[in-house]
Structure 1
């Protein structure tokens, strides 16, 4: 059973309300009884932003994964699909559609996830393919990792952004993005850190944001 407590101004506790909670009531997933996970799924990981929560679930039958979210998605941190009719719709976990087909990422599945203040990071994996890191949401301090803040641009809120690593070099040679493996991913308030490995044996940490 998944339980939550604390601040809940945007429904990030997924307990069906917008009220702060001083005890641990059960979380709610859309279409499920309170305290129960969607049928045939297990919980792999949880991540928490300022006012949004992410849940990475796995299908027990075939091992595929899906991303669910709740809370505030106004900065785009809960995917382009997160269009709520009213605030109460954000008070339960809902499946997030990352619109991967629009980015040529059909068949990729979320494997790692992290959240900062108003930004979400997802590592997408597919068998025999390099990993892809995407980001979505706020970019106040360059959080998205796409260089928009440095270039003085305002990135679109309602799309996912592919984070590139072709600016990295090893012994003067550009990193081979075709063999990229993201080993771990973590985020703080306005920054994220990624641990990368490539077929060229590059292993390193890359940070973005402030």
Structure 2
């Protein structure tokens, strides 16, 4: 299998891993340490996930390990690690004269923490200057390792002015539902989502005398209600909540979570969507009417819902984020369809990925009787993050990438970050590598 990873957009701190610090306005290959230019590490089976902070990027790779005779998960990182967001080992090496931030390198996280011996990473998520890595521990419950900045309790501990670099293993043993405690040894984390300063975790666990339940917890910035209702202090909402807090899902099974700057969105098994937080930019307007959502996503100030093959958007549009060119002050507000060019009909929406203020969509379409996947995007484009050789904002969707190029390649993943975009492709080969 031949896997490639290309990227575009903001790169002042080397967060695109292109061996330099120049913005990219077209898609170019990312680089990995000790690998030929443009190639991913040997025996990589899948790029599972990519998540981007303000100026750093983390990637989760699934690779075949010859010594273990099985696939293993690895976390790689590039860009700015000055706040500890790429782990203590990365920070230690940045002072070296020959160290380059502009290339992906493996982050040795579990090896540097005795409590994570034999643990293996499973999920990643990057906030502004904080990174979250989920570890599965044999015979025990999953935990989240939080690394980096902690101004709003992002590490799961109260902010402390005397701690510059910090790493914290966040556990969830203190969570209870209707007075019944969650058994921490049974926690299995399903997904993690973060925005600038708050993080959401969807996990499954056993609750005493109740059984297995799916729960959503969150911590970090809280002033705008993005963690749900929290008792006020001296008449004001607290700025943050520095330990995992249960977010109500109203007895409707949660299946995925998404985080905006000041809002939170939860998709439920029923197809319903619930939300909390700020609606100042209309980012929550119309979500109560959703009944069959298959995907949800959030930019900083917007929300996106996929129903069947319809892509709906609500929120800020100052950079074209809603994908509707006709918007005026008198246009209808709330959740409404993104406007694709005439003749573009998707068989299926495979994935939606929301960056800070731009959106990527992976569509399955049929052309001349053949199925192919296409990447479309719109919104903020100041750094060339749409990869379309321009820095003009795109107010309606444009085709950015097709599975027909290179020949035989399939789009295997898309990710949008803070002014960056990423596309993984794969070509099936006879070789195991």
TM-score (norm 2): 0.45
Displacement of 1:18: 0.8
Is 1:52 aligned with 2:56?
yes
Among 61, 76, 85, the alignment partner of 1:68 is 76
Other structure's SS at 2:7 match:
coil
Q: Which residue does the alignment assign to 1:169?
A: 176
Matching residue within 112, 124, 127 for 1:113: 124
Match of residue 138, structure 1, among 136, 149, 153: 149
Q: More strand by proportion, 1 or 2?
A: 2
Supply the distance in 1 between the matched residues of 2:22 and 2:98 (Cα, whole angstroms).
Answer: 12
| Separation in structure 1 between the aligned mates of residue 24 and residue 99 of structure 2, nearest angstrom | 16
User: SS where residue 25 of structure 2 aligns?
Assistant: coil
Q: 1:104 aligns with which of 103, 109, 115?
A: 115
CA distance in 1, matches of 2:215, 2:185: 16
- Which of 83, 86, 91 is the matching residue for 1:78? 86
CA distance in 2, matches of 1:17, 1:198: 44
Moved over 6 A (4+): none
Determine which structure has more spread, i.e. the larger CA radius of gyration: 2
- Write out per-residue CA displacement over residues 139-162 of structure 1, whole angstroms, 9 at most, x where no aligned residue: 11221122x12xxx2474545311
Distance 1:86 1:189, change over 3 A: farther
Contact 1:49 1:116 in 2 (8 A): yes
Quick one: distance in 2 between partners of 1:6 and 1:136?
Answer: 25
- Contact 1:17/1:88 (<8 A) preserved: no
Count of residue correspondences: 206
TM-score, L = length of structure 1: 0.90
**1:55-111: CA deviation from partner (whole Å, max 9, x where unpaired):** 111113511111100000000000111021259610000110114453321111110
Residue 116 of structure 2 contacts residue 137 of structure 2 at CA under 8 Å; is this kept in 1? Answer: no
- Structure 2 residue 27 is matched with structure 1 residue 20: no
Secondary structure in structure 2 of the residue aligned to 1:35: coil
Determine if contact 1:80/1:99 at 8 Å carries over to the other structure.
Answer: no
1:118 offset after TM fit, Å?
Answer: 0.3
Query: Given the superposition, is the C-alpha separation of residues 159 and 190 from structure 1 closer, same or farther in structure 2, using an over 3 Å criterion?
Result: closer
Structure 2: runs of 5 or more not aligned: 222-433
Hey, what's the Cα distance between the residues in 1 that align with 2:153 and 2:76? 25
Alpha-carbon RMSD across the aligned residues, in angstroms, is 1.8
Between the aligned partners of 2:166 and 2:89, the Cα distance in structure 1 is 9
Deviations 1:38-65 (A, max 9, x none): 1111311111111000111111351111
**Structure 1 unaligned regions, length at least 5:** none
